[in-house]
Amino acid sequence: MSSQSPPLVTILMPAYNAGPYIYKAIESILSQTFVNFEFLIINDGSRDDSLSVIHSFSDPRIKIIDQQNKGLIDCLNEGLKIATGKFIARMDADDICFPERLQVQLDFLTKHPDYVIVGSEAEVIDKDGNYLYDLGPIGYSHEEISAGVNNKCPFIHPSVMFRKDAVIAVGGYPKNALTFEDHLLWKELLTVGKACNLRQKLLLFRFNPESVTIDEKWRGRTFLEIRRRSIINGSVSDADAQTLKSIIAKQNFSSYKQASYYAMVGKKYLWTNINKPLARENFAKAISLYPKNMALYLFWLFSFLPSAWVTRLYATFKKQKL
C-alpha cells in the first residue's frame, strides 16, 4: 500500500488478554483477499503475552496502540477517532475472518450507498476451535432488522462493516451501555441509513471463558430489565448506568465467567449440536466452578434423558425464553 493510496478500510480490533487466540485473529486479517486496509489493534492493558504476539507480525498495515486498560467502549471510540478508513470493519481478538470477508462487505456497501452497515452470519466455535453451531442474525433485510431491533441485537458485532462518518454522526458507542453498547449503537444508526445482514458466513465467532461478554441470563433480571428499558428508550439513564457497573463488577471474576462459558457450551451440545456426553462434561465443569446456580444441575440431568425428550424440553424452554 503506497503513500498515494490511503486505506479504504480500517479493521478495528481491541485486544485484552487474548494471548491464546490473537495470532490466528491477526493472521486471518492479513490473509484477506482485499488488501487496501489499515489494521488498528488497540492493546488495552493486557497482562498476558498479547502484545508480544502482536509485535511478532511485521506487516506495515498494522498500527498498534498500547495503552493502560480503559475498557471496550473507550477502546472502540478511541479507535473510531484514529481510524483513517472510510469504512470500519470490527474484529474481536479471539475470532477468525474468512478470507473474502472484507471484499464481500465492501462490495455491498459500495454498491448500496444508502446502507450504513452490513453484517453477516457466522460459525460459532469453542475456545479450542471446535465447531458448535451456525449463528444467524434476527433478520437480513433493513425491514426485518428495524422490526426486531428493540427485542434482540440485530448484528453479530465482530461481523460488521460500517461507514465511519455515519457512526461518528450518531455519537459512536454509548459509554453507559456496558456490554450492550453495540446494540444501542445499531438502533441509533438505523435513524441515519439502512442496514443489512448477508446470508453468508464470513466469521468464526469464538466463545471463550475469559471473554468480556457472558450469557446475559447469568447477569440476572435487573440487568435484563435495564437492558430492555435502555434499548427501547435509546439511552441508559445515569441511575441505570451505576447499577450496571455494580452488577458487572460483582460478576467480573474468573470462576463466574468460566462457569457461564461452560454452561453456554453445554447447552449448545444439549440442544443444538447434540452431543449429550459433551454437554454433560461441560455442565459438570460449570457446576464445579459455580455450584450456586441450580439450573446447571437440571441441565446436567437432562443430558441423561432420551433424545426425543430433550428435543421436547428444548421446545418448551425456547417458548419460555429460558
Burial group, residue 166, by CB count within 10 angstroms (0-12, 13-18, 19+): middle
Is residue 1 a part of any domain in this protein? no
What is the domain range of residue 304? 253-322
Is residue 3 a part of any domain in this protein? no
Tell whether 37 and 91 lie within a shared domain: yes
Tell whether 153 and 182 lie within a shared domain: yes
Tell whether 236 and 167 lie within a shared domain: no
CA distances from 298 to 81, 274, 294 (A): 48, 17, 7
Please tell me the total number of residues recorded for the chain in this structure. 322
Give the end of a domain, one of 206, 239, 270.
206
Tell whether 20 and 74 lie within a shared domain: yes
Tell whether 87 and 43 lie within a shared domain: yes
* Domain count along the chain: 3
Q: Residues 110, 118: contact at Cβ < 8 Å? A: no
**What is the residue-level pLDDT of the chain in tens, covering all 322 positions?**
444 578 999 999 999 999 999 999 999 999 999 999 999 999 999 999 999 999 999 999 999 999 999 999 999 999 999 999 999 999 999 999 999 999 999 999 999 999 999 999 999 999 999 999 999 999 999 999 999 999 999 999 999 999 999 999 999 999 999 999 999 999 999 999 999 999 999 999 999 887 756 778 888 899 999 999 999 999 999 999 999 999 988 887 788 989 999 999 999 999 888 899 999 999 999 999 999 999 999 999 999 988 888 878 777 766 655 5
Tell whether 140 and 97 lie within a shared domain: yes
Rounded CA separation 268/207 (Å): 11
